[in-house]
Amino acid sequence: MPIYEYRCQRCGYRFEKLVRLAQADQPVVCPNCGADATERLLSAFSARTTGEAATTTCSTGGG
């Protein structure tokens, strides 16, 4: 099941929610304030890395 990220337009609370295909069109209620004015954000799956060192960009100055 895909995990979608939502953000409440009322309080600005961001949360993730497992949404089934059948429930994709149903409105999501904000667990913080209870408002249904939530918008779905583009979830970035590549943001979570385990045991992976961040690549450091080393720029050598021409000189």
Which C-beta is closer to Zn ion: that of 3 or that of 11? 11
Min CB(4)–Zn ion separation in Å: 16
Which C-beta is closer to Zn ion: that of 26 or that of 52? 26
Residue numbers at the binding site for Zn ion (CB under 5 A):
8, 10-11, 13, 30, 32-33, 35
Sign of the four-CA dihedral 11, 35, 26, 9: negative
Strands 38-41 and 14-18 turn out to be unpaired
Min CB(15)–Zn ion separation in Å: 9
The neighbour count for residue 37, using CB atoms within 10 Å, is 14
